[in-house]
């Protein structure tokens, strides 16, 4: 079975220190949490950034500061910035995170970034809007910048949109999907199997279970041969009623589950090979 790629979603844009005081906001806190996950076995750091007061931002300078700080502690990690942004932002505002350069590694843009393939209800009046034109624009710009999209899908319809965009030339194959389950679609073994069966042959996939489904989905994905995302963005508890101490603690739990079923953990270099990314220049 292919080695397991672990992604750590270290802070997100919605969770706060009121949910868990260990959620990082500052550049130093974000770098600390990235390092804890990286040392525990995460190959990919999924990155949102915050102002020091916790306000989410897509500011290029803030992403640059966080990426530089993470790189000092996690020299070969795959840093995967979010393009989610916030309600009311333009496409180009959201795409600022893909403009960060790392010239010392030969990177004019990040290796990967998220591409959300549909509109999602987050609860209450919160709607995360991604029109067909937004998806086309994101896909086109990410191809121009040689950024591999992590295609975030919250239900089966979004898989179909991604396939449609691929056929129209806006997303390149092989595609990499992140199934975010427990928001708009329930998080069960049945749902995950259905999503996996819906993607094109040759695609890779990760599952992110939200809230209490995080480690259940992780265990199922490990057994199925897929990959796993964990971290404070998706869940602030290491077990029922017990707040997590760090993102590294979440990754350590996934590593233990994987070892119990004989699944080896991918290094960043191995993750790049699995995902079809170029080796880092050094």
Per-residue pLDDT tens digits for 126-152: 788 899 999 999 999 999 999 999 999
Q: Where is average pLDDT lowest: 57-66, 73-82, 89-98?
A: 89-98
Per-residue pLDDT tens digits for 207-218: 999 999 999 999
Per-residue pLDDT tens digits for 244-280: 999 999 999 999 999 999 999 999 999 999 999 999 9
List Cα–Cα distances, 210 to 59, 86, 146, 234, 264, in angstroms: 26, 19, 30, 5, 24
User: Which domains does the chain show, CATH number per domain?
Assistant: 6-275 (3.20.20.70)
Q: Where is average pLDDT lowest: 159-163, 238-242, 278-282?
A: 278-282
**What is the pTM assigned to this prediction?**
0.97
pLDDT at residue number 126: 78
Q: Is the pLDDT of residue 282 over 90?
A: no
**What is 188-219 written as a DSSP string?**
SHHHHHHHHHHSPTT-EEEEEE-GGGHHHHHH
pLDDT classification of 3: cutoffs 50, 70, 90: very high
């Amino acid at each position: 079975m292919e080695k397991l790629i672990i992604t750590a979603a270290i802070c997100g844009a919605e969770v706060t220190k009121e949910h868990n005081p260990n959620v990082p906001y500052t550049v130093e806190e974000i770098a600390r949490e990235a390092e804890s996950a990286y040392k525990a076995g995460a190959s990919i750091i999924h990155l949102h950034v915050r102002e020091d007061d916790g306000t989410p931002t897509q500011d290029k300078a803030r992403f640059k500061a966080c990426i530089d700080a993470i790189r000092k502690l996690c020299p070969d990690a795959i840093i995967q910035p979010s393009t989610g942004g916030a309600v009311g932002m333009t496409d180009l505002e959201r795409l600022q995170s893909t403009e960060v350069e790392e010239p010392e590694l030969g990177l004019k843009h990040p290796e990967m970034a998220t591409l959300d393939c549909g509109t999602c209800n987050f609860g209450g009046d919160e709607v995360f809007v991604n029109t067909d034109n937004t998806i086309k624009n994101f896909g086109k710009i990410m191809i121009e910048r040689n950024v591999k999209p992590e295609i975030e899908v919250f239900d089966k319809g979004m898989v179909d949109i991604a396939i449609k965009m691929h056929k129209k030339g806006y997303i390149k194959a092989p595609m990499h999907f992140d199934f975010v389950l427990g928001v708009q679609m329930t998080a069960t073994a049945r749902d995950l199997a259905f999503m996996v069966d819906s993607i094109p042959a040759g695609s890779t996939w990760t599952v992110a279970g939200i809230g209490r489904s995080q480690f259940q989905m992780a265990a199922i994905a490990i057994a199925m041969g897929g990959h796993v995302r964990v971290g404070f963005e998706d869940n602030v508890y290491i077990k029922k009623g017990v707040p997590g101490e760090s993102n590294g603690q979440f990754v350590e739990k996934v590593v233990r589950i994987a070892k119990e079923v004989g699944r080896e953990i991918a290094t960043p270099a191995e993750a790049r090979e699995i995902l079809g990314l170029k080796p880092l220049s050094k």
